[in-house]
Structure 1
Amino acid sequence: MREEAKDMSFQNDNQTLLNGDATKVSSSIFSSLLASNDRDYLLSSTSNQVRISALDGKIVGLYFAANWYRPCREFTQVLVDVYEQLKNSGCVFEIVYVSSDEDSDAFNAYLACMPWLAIPFSDLETKKALNRKFDVEGIPCLVILHPNDTKDEATLHDGVELVYRYGAQAFPFTKQRLEELEKEEKERHDNQNLIDLLTNHDRDYLLGHPRPEHVPVASLIGKTIGLFFSGQWCVPCVKFIPKLISSYHKIKQMVADNQGEDFEVVFVSSDRDQASFDSYFNTMPWLALPFGDPNIKNLAKHFDVKAIPCLVILGPDGKTVTRHGRNLINLYQENAYPFTDAKLELLEKQMDEAAKDLPRSVSHAGHRHELNLVSEGNGGGPFICCDCDEQGTAWVYQCLECGYEVHPKCVRVAAVDR
């Protein structure tokens, strides 16, 4: 019923425009972008034809995606929710799907899940032209177009990030609106505290061990806290957790020995059911938000968590120290504590000193070519280690022939043939 009403709405828009100013329709920026020599329409999710002129006067998102790519499927679910919120609020907003599907059956199945319009699958030339014009390098990609912007000055290419970050609040996707949202976000982060982040009107505690121990959130005030966004189904999470557990115990021991500020980790679950949560949490020595708690989505949005595992570090004052705790644990283990800029600067200096004693080139057992030691300033920089699959920065052993890169600590010296 909803789809029939939507198609009727599109048809009414078409009739209004057909009875209106023909010059306005022909000069539409959307017609010039989306029409072809033999087509002046788009397809609805029920395969009905909708005149492109129905888009005139609306803010339009060009959605580049494909059903075979999981990140697209995940973002589509988010985008559908935002789209329906905006339409139900009467916002003049529309989306046009630009498909990278493998065949027409895949395209039709994916479009059927979308409440918006699409360029026909068969119109390969228009789809290629749009990809070239907006320099689409990866999917999902959401390009926002404004109806009166004839010079592309108001075009936004980062619609996916904006929707993930702000949801329906990002509308109308103008520079002024985004500046307002950034200001509001900064104020929220400046004023954040542990109680507001981790409690709600139904709960003022976290889960501990042994179950069903309840630990008051108030007891964590004054401690450095790691918010660990993770899920048992996620392979990188399962690979990372032993490193985090090891560093957690060593940090706790360091704190006890030095009588410093305490450290705690709070598991923020992305598990898909209670049984998975229980099984995963039972492997952890720290605390957790209850499974399905409403704070989980709020925290993911507040800290702009797009992928897991993610470790957000909060200082003793409840303010954010870094959202890159995972990378710091991978690089420095327990030595990263307390994750402050001053500590990281010290660790980087120590790495530079240690690098002076490293060989300039090595033969690594995991690679056939010789690897050369490079720093961030001479060809290094952020990288993913090809041996442990974790991120690194600064010094790296790099293959100049094929780009293979490994942490210095991951190098396994190859045996020399005699």
Structure 2
Amino acid sequence: MAAKLEGLIGESVIKKNGDKVLTKSLCGKDRIVGLYFSANWCPPCRGFTPKLADFYTNFKKSEKGENLEIIFVSWDKDVDGFTEYFSSMPWLAIPYSDRDKKAKLTKKYKVGGIPRFVLLDGENGKLITTDGFSQLMEDETGKDFPWRIKPFHEMIKGKLLNGKDELIDSNELIKGKIVGLYFSAHWCPPCRHFTPELIKTYEKLKEEGKSFEVIFISSDRSSESFSQYYSCMPWFAVPFGDNRLQLLTSQYGVDGIPTLVMIDEKGSIITINGRTSILLDRNCSEFPWYPKPLDELTQNAALQLNESVCLVLFTEGEDDEIERAKELLLESATKEHQKGEDQELFFFYGGDDEFCDQVRDFTNLDDQNPLLAILDLPEQQVYVCPEKDITKDIVNNFTENYHNNKLTPRPFKASKTV
């Protein structure tokens, strides 16, 4: 964990007086490391910080006090704001001057807004939750801290509604099946637009004999709107007002709807991007949509490209060139894919799809082929490999140099997403 955390935040963090604390001293068995993304200018942050400070102070007084440390990741607009705000906190911080670390952590944990409280396992560095904020608001004494995700079959245990207002035992229903948790609401226009698409997919998979069920997790504001919306759905639902609604929403970090979380037969997450998968695979040929280590750069990749750092090997698009590109990328792509939640790079090969030209134009890339590049659209920058004869070793070295911060990016002028 020490090496992993050091790679994220550096070899040390600081106390309020400026003294350094070695990152490795925060790691170990039973240790929990919290990353607190916050800012002085943010009213919700200033409202949450005292609650977090009370929890932290009380925890530190307990017999397990040494097992928790929090690190402030500042979103302040200037060093004065950071200094003033940090002075009110009893924990540690990443120095304000280290903006690269702030950007890296923000990107890794997909922090789109603040306050955000991310918890990591201090022994292995694995993510525990990105929603410590909601967890603490609902559990102010920390009875269930550190709020590790519960087994799916435990969370869903209980009765579910079917379309006839009958109650069905959940675990009997989902035993041995792929499950889609559909977080949605009648008041949400994108939800009402996606629901018919999901119905088509559901019915198609049922006709093909697939072991698949969908469970509606409602965010409706009244039982009437819930009933009206659910009446058009052919699957099952957690009853309106049931405690499991908030539990599942929180445990799976759902902060926007519609969201379709795909769960395998053993209760493990397949993908939290089931909605996008369905829209891009209307024939359901890739059901249940396990993430792949390597894919073609087409319009289907736009969402991934806009949200993540992506390595692309552009080609002329001839069949032999595409096969060669797959061969060159597969080893590095598979290695990266096996990192699971720690995956930082997503791999694509570019052929003759028009979308490749759009991406080149958008990022101001040359027309050279083959061309190996790492595209960082969230940061509006690109890393270009200077080599013209691409080999597996070049791909591997380019990837490793990116991870070791040995590459120099160049910005590209862009004001919108692809």
**TM-score where L is the length of structure 1:** 0.46
Indicate the structure (1 or 2) with the bigger Cα radius of gyration.
1
